[in-house]
Structure 1
Amino acid sequence: MTTLVETSDEEPTMAVARTIAELAWSQGGADIAEPAVAQYVSEAEALLVSGRFSDLASLLLTSADVVLANAPEKDLECIFTVICNLVNKAQSPDEALEMADQIGNKLIVQPIDKPALRLKILFHLYNMLATPYGRFVIFKRALKLAILGKVTELIVPSLKRLDTFIKEWNIGNSEKRELYLTATNVLKETKGSGKESFVFLVKYLASFAGEDAATASEAKEDAVRAIIEFVKAPDMFQCDLLEMLPVRQLERDAKYAPVYRLLEIFLTSQLDAYLEFQNSNSATIKTYGLVHEEAMTKMRLMSLAGLASKGSGEIPYSVVRETLKVADDEVEYWIVRAIGSKLVEAKMDQMRQVVVISRCTERVFGAPQWRELRNKLAGWKENISSVERILESAKQSGVPQGLQAAVAAH
């Protein structure tokens, strides 16, 4: 830590007060600067002695702009660390939040100047606060600073822990929405964070559950964006957008109904439905920057997943060929692509000309899928109960253990 004054045993807050005053009056002559500095330091000392820490913080922040513009970075960090530490001396959580808010507001002025250092100071301030809501307020300041200062890469690691923070902060729905939307926008511009951006966009849209139509309509453009991002993504094959209120509203929207229909096709229909849509809505495809060939590729894979989820466990090659509209010698290529994309786990039986499905990804996991899962679990539970009854019966009838195992296996 940089020594701010010559007297090393001076109380840190007073050393900071003296340094701030000297910076503020550095352009004045000695006859003006010396009495002004002395008066400023005297006022700061009086506030410190009387325990008026909120007023002291306000006084030290009056020349924050000058300090931020002129102090060396090491001194600057030291000065603001001392000011931030005053938050710990607040008489109440409300006073601590008020002080932190003052500091945060000063730091986000001129965010282009030393943004990384300002962000570091804000996170130090964040850690000074004991109340969850106070931390939330300062995190928002840090997020705003990172965006305005064009150093969003410094806050991306924190955004990836946003759900954990939100639980700690215990904030309301509207505040969550604001954070989710900001996070998705920041991550969208961050290389390699496209999937995380989409996840936060979906969480933003999901947060409108239970709201009225007017409130949900605020997210109309974001719902369209989510649909287009999903359709464009070559490695995303499952989502629950159809169930979300802002998305459902698009179905009857004069402008965006085709976009809703496109999502519906990708999640519930087969390739022929997409081709029909493309023929009658080619303008929509172009408007949103979709590439027909890329959409065809994704739709073929999703159509194959649809066949796998609805079939009996085996799909004839002929059905794959007809559904995907490919030649005979391309069927296995598309099966391999679906396996490689983790849409299905399957084996190809070339002798019988069928693909044997052992697992598949559901394009939508909504209420029907939950019911199916519940029925499967109930069936497994009943099977286990049957085995237990057989074993208990065998035990009571004196059947040897080896035979018990054989009976259970049977």
Structure 2
Amino acid sequence: MVMNRWLDLTSLMLTSADIVFSNSKVSEKDLECIFTVICNLITTSRSPDEELEMAKLICAKIIQQPSDKPALRLRILFNLYNLLDNAYCRFYVFMKTLNLAISGKVTEHVIPSFKKIDSFLKEWNLEVQDQRELFLSVANALKDSKSSAKDSFKFLTKYLATFSDEDTYKMGEAKEEAVRTIIEFVKAPDMFQCDLLDMPAVGQLEKDAKYALVYQLLKIFLTQRLDAYLEFQAANSALLKSYGLVHEDCIAKMRLMSLVDLASHESGRIPYALIKDILRIDDDEVELWVVKALTAKLIDCKMDQLNQVVLVSSCTERVFGKQQWQALSTKLRTWRGNIESVINTIQANKITEDGSQAVQGMMIR
């Protein structure tokens, strides 16, 4: 302490703390107090590099046995995180916290912090490689939580989005995650839209000997109808089972996807008979599937039972890429032109009306 060798002191104290951690007679409260003292040594660091080295020493000791008192170990790491000044050092400790939570199976303690990831990214100012590591670790932490399936998918897509065409030599490392993301999308009963087809990390699967069929499955779910899926399933049933996909669930999802496709291509008027044929259902099931699509907010429509047609006013796009942005831009320009026309008409009528009133006033005088 006299020589300001704080890094060496941290190392010595951690060696002794190891003995205390293995002593079953020491309470968790005392353990937390001991490590609070050790973690506070980091405030004495004289440079960002020394701060990082001290953080590495503490983290290495804490994560050694993730299954032993994992919740306590997480609390110690969170305390350490809050004492840090250096942005990259905070990122390093956060990643160790994530890994500990996954290994110790206590991810419920870190999931609330994921809501702040966007602000963390601004604070940490990470390189692309570090962003990839972060997004993938967060997705892994959320993987086994059924209530967080959408969030897991969101972070997987963030991970895949970090790869560009220029990353050809690195994109190979994303193949398995790209497949995992596709399977998560196909499995999810409440996800009907994604931009995976536009991502280079996913596109590389199209010509991959091992994963080409998985890419084809994604393309069917996003651009084709039920008949294409049934044909694919007949030829690749073993593949679907190997990924844990349930045929009946896939049919149900593809029926909704097919109904959305009909809504976007049939000029807003879909005959019941066409829905029956495309969805391969009985006459009395047509309205049931339309209601399911309405409930899922995939389409906005009315059912004309007298004329046996569904009148669609709007529908969700299964993909939203360059083509959809262009279509939206065209619609906005049209609406803007219509509004300008209405405004011009109102102004012209107002001028005419004001002129008429002035003339009438002169005649009265």
What TM-score comes out, normalization by structure 2 length? 0.91
Q: How far 1:123 sits from its partner (Å)?
A: 0.6
SS at match of 2:303: strand
Q: How far 1:147 sits from its partner (Å)?
A: 2.3
Q: Out of 260-269 and 155-164, give the one that drifted further.
A: 155-164
1:197 equivalent to 2:152? Answer yes
Taking the TM superposition and a 5 Å limit, the aligned residue runs for 1:7-406 are 47=1, 49-70=2-23, 71-399=26-354
Deviations 1:93-143 (A, max 9, x none): 322222222212221122222221111111111000112111101111111
Aligned letter for 2:342? Answer: V
Say if 1:224 and 1:259, in contact at 8 Å, map to a contact too. yes
SS at match of 1:346: strand
Aligned letter for 1:257? Answer: A
Aligned letter for 2:266? Answer: G
Aligned letter for 2:49? Answer: D
SS at match of 2:189: coil
Q: How far 1:262 sits from its partner (Å)?
A: 1.2
Cα distance in 2 for partners of 1:171, 1:260 equals 31
Aligned letter for 2:107? Answer: T
SS at match of 1:62: helix
Aligned CA RMSD, in angstroms, stands at: 2.1
Q: Out of 86-95 and 373-382, give the one that drifted further.
A: 86-95
Aligned letter for 1:131? Answer: N
| Unpaired runs of at least 5, structure 1 | 1-46, 402-410
Q: How far 1:341 sits from its partner (Å)?
A: 1.6
Higher relative contact order (CA 8 A, sep 6+): 2
SS at match of 2:302: strand
Q: Out of 125-134 and 194-203, give the one that drifted further.
A: 194-203
Q: How far 1:238 sits from its partner (Å)?
A: 0.9
Deviations 1:212-264 (A, max 9, x none): 33311211122112212211221111111111112111111122222111111
**Bigger CA radius of gyration:** 1
Q: How far 1:160 sits from its partner (Å)?
A: 4.1
Cα distance in 2 for partners of 1:106, 1:347 equals 63
SS at match of 2:310: strand
Cα distance in 2 for partners of 1:117, 1:285 equals 41
Say if 1:64 and 1:106, in contact at 8 Å, map to a contact too. no
Q: How far 1:396 sits from its partner (Å)?
A: 2.9
Say if 1:344 and 1:357, in contact at 8 Å, map to a contact too. yes
The count of aligned residue pairs is: 355
SS at match of 2:301: strand
SS at match of 1:63: helix
| Unpaired runs of at least 5, structure 2 | 357-365
SS at match of 1:58: helix
Aligned letter for 2:14? Answer: L
Q: Out of 279-288 and 359-368, give the one that drifted further.
A: 279-288
Cα distance in 1 for partners of 2:67, 2:235 equals 49
Q: Structure 1 168/210 Cα, relative in aligned 2: closer, same or farther at 3 Å?
A: farther
Say if 1:108 and 1:141, in contact at 8 Å, map to a contact too. yes
SS at match of 1:363: coil
SS at match of 2:314: strand
Deviations 1:366-387 (A, max 9, x none): 1111111111111111112112
Q: Give identity over the alignment, percent.
A: 59
Q: Structure 1 382/343 Cα, relative in aligned 2: closer, same or farther at 3 Å?
A: same
Say if 1:305 and 1:361, in contact at 8 Å, map to a contact too. yes
Q: How far 1:400 sits from its partner (Å)?
A: 8.7
SS at match of 2:270: strand
